[in-house]
Amino acid sequence: MKIFKEINHYIQVYGKFASTSISEATSFRTSFILMIFMDIFFNLSSLFTISIIFDHVSLVGDWNKDQLLFFTSFMLVVDCFHMLFLSHGFWRFSDDLKTGNLDYTLLRPVSSIFTVFFRYFKPSSIPDFFLTVGLIIYFGMKINLGLWQWIAIPFLVLLSFTLLALIEFIISCAMFWLVEGLGVNFLRMQLQSMSRMPDFIYNQFMKRVLTFCIPILLVGSGPVQFIFDPSKWIYLVYMLGGIIFCYYFLIFIWNRGLNHYDSASS
């Protein structure tokens, strides 16, 4: 019962975070509308790039055009979740470290990791959510996915989002020592971009490094490879292993960072 009360408490706290973010974002209507168009343009340009590639080739690796478009759509859904729940928090974290606002976060009776990274909700990405879901359904129908694959997709998206979030949380902990988060955030974004590419485009050495050392390629390639070929279930084992390892490593490095943190307000 205690764990359910705690989950309910965090849901209520997040509800307050979301309502505050929505009120703030919708107060600036022009900016809000432009952000919606920016997200839509980013998604359509990603698909358009794939179409241009297949004007010149018939296969990329073992995948045809519809398979690669499905992969891209899958990653766009994951990216949409990332934009909705996490994107603003990474940039604000650096400011909080420099200004001492992190002090107030540490005093709150909830996990500091939760507050730092989930504090800001991005409502302008809600229309983008419906677009990306529509895209994954459309391209999933084109490659004739079966019933079990459709059922698995929501769980696999959640798995991918969790792994991506943990990797980015760990990278962001470098801000405790560097303070200036601009370079850290650009590094985080570059790794995020790498996750949007299928693993087979990399040579064997880089593929192993980005699968086992920094498991960023598992974010997209892991679940999609499994959807296309269930015999590749080992990818999901790697993902679960990566999530467990990253979670405990995050707790370790976060606590080390807090011990190193000196309030800018003191």
Strand-pairing partners, residue 63, are 60
pLDDT tens digits, residue range 239-254?
999 999 999 999 999 9
Indicate the pTM of the whole model.
0.91
Q: What is the mean pLDDT of the chain?
A: 88
pLDDT tens digits, residue range 168-190?
999 999 888 886 777 888 888 88
pLDDT tens digits, residue range 12-47?
888 888 888 888 888 877 888 888 888 888 888 888
The full set of domain ranges for the chain reads: 2-260
- Tell me how crowded residue 192 is: count the other CB atoms within 10 A of its CB: 19
pLDDT tens digits, residue range 61-113?
788 899 999 999 999 999 999 999 988 888 888 888 888 888 888 888 888 99
- Output the pLDDT for position 67: 92
Task: Name the pLDDT band for 57 (thresholds 50, 70, 90).
Answer: confident
- Output the pLDDT for position 201: 87
